[in-house]
Amino acid sequence: MQLADKNAELQTKILFERIREIPNKGIAFGQQDATMYGINWKPKTATSKLKSDIKEVSGKMPAIHGFDLGHIELGASSNLDTVSFDLIKNHVRKLNKKGAIITFSWHADNPKSMGTSWDTTSVVKTILKGGSERSKYESWVARLSTFFKSLKTSKGTPIPVVFRPFHEMNGNWFWWGEGNCTPEEYKELWRETFYLLKQNGVTNLLYAYAPNIMQSSEEFDLYYPGDDFVDILGVDIYNYGGREAFINNIQKNLAILKEKAIQKNKPFALTETGNVNSGSEPNWWTKSLYPGIENSGAAWVLLWRNARLDHYFSVYSEDISAPDFKEFARLDELLFLKKIRKINY
Ligand code: BMA
């Protein structure tokens, strides 16, 4: 099986094979920023032992760890959520050593207006080859590349990671999203960014393409940059429409991904999810999330971040869903760090 990056490091190829093996064992559990902060805590120092709300509740560390690179493009020292990039690197190194799998999203600012990712000022065309903001965009990808190349073990071996840029493109909220550029421009943005990363010597990435909830399999194809530019298929789904709709959406969307994944011979994952009504659904884990992902063939499920009490998507020790999470985490199908480590690490 060829990766999108034909010059990928051996470590990158091994990571891909590990990911492909996961569905034969179960589904890996992940969270965004799991070790960076949680409800009412932050790591004290860079040398503190890794902590996570998930572990506090269940005794188990997530297997998949997501981080965001928004503002790396600006040369900033911390990301859009004020998480330090040095601390991210430190945790990536520690987590990689424990056998965890790392995935990065990129909430990049709008290169034209310099507003946030959610600033939908028309911009994609201007950063493609020949566009007025091209040189700025190239300098942004250069900074991104420097970051990826700096991910190394203490012995200097490259740390392979998943990169999931320009996500939820079938929604209209990001500058790279639906209505803010054409599907052709989107695909070109993806491919040109891929080539820039390669030109800059980045060889430790698996590329993940992840729309938001899809109504049809055509919606997946509309923005898909092509089999030669993607390694992992994903989808982001939250429970805005209530329990039944959430379960149906996950089942339907993972079935779409599974069909594509078989055709393309690539793994797939629920790359973002979370309870938007956290704090009010005691049995969300076993009665909402699990029925959606059970036996789906997905490699992982990644819960979004536990930022603060009015913005958290999973569970913490005092949470109403904590007892249910313990039950969920005990299911044989759910794979946490120790089990993932055993998969060819
Ligand atoms: C979003 C929210 C934002 C955050 C962004 C990147 O979905 O959680 O608060 O800035 O992700 O982490």
Question: What's the mean pLDDT in 201-215?
Answer: 98
Give the confidence band of 1 by pLDDT, cuts at 50, 70, 90: confident
Q: What is the pLDDT of residue 344?
A: 84
Selection from 248, 247, 312 nearest residue 274 by Cα:
312
Question: What's the mean pLDDT in 221-235?
Answer: 98
Measuring from each residue's beta carbon to the nearest atom of ligand 1, which residues come in under 6 Å? 68, 70, 80-81, 107, 305
Q: Ligand 1, residues 31, 33, 81, 106: which to mutate, most atoms within 8 A of Cβ?
A: 81
Give the distance (Å) from ligand 1 centre to CA of residue 83: 12
Question: What's the mean pLDDT in 60-78?
Answer: 98
Give the confidence band of 46 by pLDDT, cuts at 50, 70, 90: confident
3 state DSSP class of 67: strand
CA dist., res. 162 & res. 263, Å (int): 21
CA dist., res. 150 & res. 280, Å (int): 41
The percentage of the chain sitting over the pLDDT mark of 70, rounded to a whole number, equals 100
Give the confidence band of 341 by pLDDT, cuts at 50, 70, 90: very high
pTM tops 0.75: yes
Q: Which residue has the least CA distance to atom 10 on ligand 1?
A: 81
Could you tell me the maximum CA-CA distance found in the chain, to the nearest angstrom? Answer: 56
DSSP state of 157: P
Q: What is the pLDDT of residue 179?
A: 98
CA dist., res. 74 & res. 289, Å (int): 36
Q: Which two three-digit tokens encode residue 191?
A: 């491919």
Give the distance (Å) from ligand 1 centre to CA of residue 119: 14
Report the chain's mean pLDDT, rounded to a whole number. Answer: 97
Burial of 230 (0-12, 13-18, 19+ CB in 10 A): buried
